[in-house]
Amino acid sequence: MKRLLLSALALCLAAGLAAQPPAYDLVITNGRIVDGTAASWYRADIGLRGDTIVRVAPSIDPGPGRVIDAAGKVVAPGFIDIHTHARRGIFEVPTAENYVRQGVTTLIEGPDGGSPVPLGPFLAKLSALKMSVNLGSFIGQGSIRSAVIGDGDRKATVEEIQKMQALVEQGMRDGAFGLSTGLFYVPGSFTPTDEIVELARTAARFGGMHKSHQREESSKVLESVGETIAIGERGGLPTQVTHHKIIGKANWGRSAETLQLIDEARARGVDVTSDQYPYTASSTSVASALVPAWALEGGRPEMMTRLKDPAIRARIRAETITAIRDARGGGDPKNVRFASCGFDPSLSGKTLADLTTRRGLPPTIENAADTTLWLVEQGGCQGIFHAMSDDDVQRILRHPTTMIGSDGEVPIFGRSNPHPRSYGTFARVLGLYVREKKTITLEEAVRKMTSFPAARLRIQDRGILRPGMKADIVVFDPATVRDLATFDKPHQYAEGFSHVIANGQVIYENGAMTAARPGAVLYGPGRKSERR
């Protein structure tokens, strides 16, 4: 009888053990762990169960779970891109392969003052999309202002400010991570600082942050950094200089002064930071870059009316000459390249000098200004503008308050001539500025791509390799990681990444995307319901 009881007990125990799930679904072994905190790397295994990291230890027995051998490679948290225009393309390419192949697992949308208003329907549409990556959004001040008072150059009334505050509140409750401003763009460029502060205070009530495409990044860059700091200081919320840069040869070197302003503000208690992409060229519309904002007031119909008036056209031309000579034109029409032109796709990849010559004119700055006005009359183009210095790029990158953000989009592979930052930003930092130029260390670069933006956004469960955190993980070879995308040939994927994991599922391996689509919508601190 005793033997029967023992046998029955053994069978029950065996059945119970058999019914238990495996300890790990996936174990990554033999890797050099760069955990996202900037601590020195160490060797360890990482065990995953479901969408979560459950163990980090010197050695883990994987049992029946899958194993990824990361010998000779770095294992890091999935990269968080705090500044993207991902809604340009995410619904056409929900795998976001250009980002995944450079280790990015989270994209943050709604920068530069532009976002859907209201934000809720957009996030709901994203929730229904089977994505490979995670995606969240800011609410855009420019879009809110346009919705309430249009694109005119005037102050808002008290009632209009209250309406805009209500839209900010709605955006924060819908899940925005904060308020973005694009003070370089219409209608943000027409907004007084005081008005922005009122909206920033609303975002602050819900735990949001502020980030700004500043009013000016060339001759008035110091004043613009000062304004970004003031919005945070007076609005009572964290504030960020987004895609921190110095434009125009006459201004090169002034990053030392902008960074000093940040240091001084932080010393008095202002929570100010910045983000950056590692290129010496920017990208925006040709009209926004080279035509004065006052000429764009009221939208295209009013702009066209102004261009038909000889006296006003002459004023616009004069300011466009200045923009080509001293600001985003980089002093030469060859420095302006067309990324995409809806009215003439054949112009993609051509320069402003090329188009001026095609029109039968010598490619002088003055003739290029005439070509620019003709171009915007035809419908305009997205442009790429070579007007920055690598010394400034490296100085800003080294600063401890700078994180990485691509300012890119989700391109359709092979279409148009986008800025290579959409394909190469994170790999370029690791390959060029860590391995080759040794501008920053590997550990610091990973911090700028992971825990730093996560903390800035108040995302508490991503950005660090630690038990209990979501399993967003990248595996790459630090000796071979590099960006291949160039301004001439931008549609080239980064190299050096062997595996990318989002929410515990492998989304990239063996040089190809998998069928897994585990991406989730991430919500900011003001959302009342639970984060997905």
In this structure, the answer to whether residues 189 and 114 fall within a common structural domain is yes
* Residue 282 Cα distances to 42, 68, 197, 246, 384, angstroms: 37, 38, 27, 10, 6
Which of 407, 342, 399 has its CA nearest to residue 375?
342
Phi/psi of residue 61, nearest 5 degrees: -80, 115
To 10 degrees, the CA torsion angle through 447, 261, 182, 253? -80
CATH number for the domain including 393? 3.20.20.140
In this structure, the answer to whether residues 504 and 420 fall within a common structural domain is yes
pLDDT at 15: 44
In this structure, the answer to whether residues 380 and 440 fall within a common structural domain is no
Q: Are 425 and 278 contacting, i.e. CB atoms less than 8 angstroms apart?
A: yes
Q: Is residue 121 part of a domain?
A: yes
Q: Are 119 and 527 contacting, i.e. CB atoms less than 8 angstroms apart?
A: no
Residue type at 212 in one-letter notation:
S
Q: Is residue 11 part of a domain?
A: no
Q: Is residue 34 part of a domain?
A: no
Residues 339 and 377: their CA atoms lie apart, in Å, by 17
Count of Cβ atoms closer than 10 Å to residue 79 Cβ: 32
Q: Is residue 2 part of a domain?
A: no
In this structure, the answer to whether residues 264 and 119 fall within a common structural domain is yes
pLDDT at 18: 44
Residues 500 and 271: their CA atoms lie apart, in Å, by 32
In this structure, the answer to whether residues 325 and 397 fall within a common structural domain is no
Q: Is residue 15 part of a domain?
A: no
Q: For residue 106, what are the β-bridge partners? A: 80, 134
**Could you read off the pLDDT tens digit of each residue along the chain, which spans 532 residues?**
445 444 544 444 444 444 455 699 999 999 999 999 999 999 999 999 999 999 999 999 999 999 999 999 999 999 999 999 999 999 999 999 999 999 999 999 999 999 999 999 999 999 999 999 999 999 999 999 999 999 999 999 999 999 999 999 999 999 999 999 999 999 999 999 999 999 999 999 999 999 999 999 999 999 999 999 999 999 999 999 999 999 999 999 999 999 999 999 999 999 999 999 999 999 999 999 999 999 999 999 999 999 999 999 999 999 999 999 999 999 999 999 999 999 999 999 999 999 999 999 999 999 999 999 999 999 999 999 999 999 999 999 999 999 999 999 999 999 999 999 999 999 999 999 999 999 999 999 999 999 999 999 999 999 999 999 999 999 999 999 999 999 999 999 999 999 999 999 999 998 999 999 999 999 999 996 433 3
Question: Which tokens sit at 43?
Answer: 């060797």
State pTM to two decimals.
0.94
Phi/psi of residue 17, nearest 5 degrees: -65, -40
pLDDT at 21: 59
What is the three-class DSSP state of 199? helix
Residues 530 and 532: their CA atoms lie apart, in Å, by 6
Contacts of 261 (CB under 8 A, 6+ apart): 222, 225, 226, 229
Alpha helices in 211-299 (DSSP H): 221-235, 255-267, 286-290, 293-296
pLDDT at 501: 99
In this structure, the answer to whether residues 96 and 245 fall within a common structural domain is yes
Strands (E) across 143-271 are located at 178-182, 209-213, 239-241
pLDDT at 529: 44
pLDDT at 20: 59
Q: Is residue 195 part of a domain?
A: yes
Residues 402 and 448: their CA atoms lie apart, in Å, by 7
Quick one: which H or E segment has residue 202?
A: helix 193-205
In this structure, the answer to whether residues 240 and 381 fall within a common structural domain is no
Q: Are 79 and 103 contacting, i.e. CB atoms less than 8 angstroms apart?
A: yes
Residues 26 and 89: their CA atoms lie apart, in Å, by 31
DSSP string, 285-342: EHHHHHS-HHHHTT-HHHHHHHHHSHHHHHHHHHHHHHHHHHSTTTTSGGGEEEEE-T
In this structure, the answer to whether residues 374 and 402 fall within a common structural domain is no
Question: Which tokens sit at 311?
Answer: 């006296």
Q: Is residue 164 part of a domain?
A: yes
In this structure, the answer to whether residues 85 and 219 fall within a common structural domain is yes
In this structure, the answer to whether residues 266 and 335 fall within a common structural domain is no
Residues 137 and 140: their CA atoms lie apart, in Å, by 9
What is the three-class DSSP state of 345? helix
In this structure, the answer to whether residues 275 and 130 fall within a common structural domain is yes
SS (H, E, C) 354-389: HHHHHCCCCCCHHHHHHHHHHHHHHCCCEEEEECCC
In this structure, the answer to whether residues 359 and 485 fall within a common structural domain is no
* Residue 233 Cα distances to 74, 111, 238, 360, angstroms: 39, 20, 8, 52
Domain that holds residue 476: 77-280+388-457+468-513
Which of 181, 230, 235 has its CA nearest to residue 203?
235
* CB crowding 427-447: b at 16 or more within 10 Å, else e: bbbbbbbbbeeebbebbbbbb
Q: Is residue 484 part of a domain?
A: yes
Residue 430 per-residue DSSP state: I
Q: What angle do CA 150, 151, 152 make, to 5 degrees?
A: 100
Q: What angle do CA 483, 487, 490 make, to 5 degrees?
A: 60
Provide the number of structural domains found in the chain: 2
Residues 34 and 479: their CA atoms lie apart, in Å, by 15
Residue 529 per-residue DSSP state: S
Q: In what order do the strands lie in the sheet with 79-81?
A: 79-81, 104-109, 134-137
Which of 353, 323, 336, 83 has its CA nearest to residue 217?
323
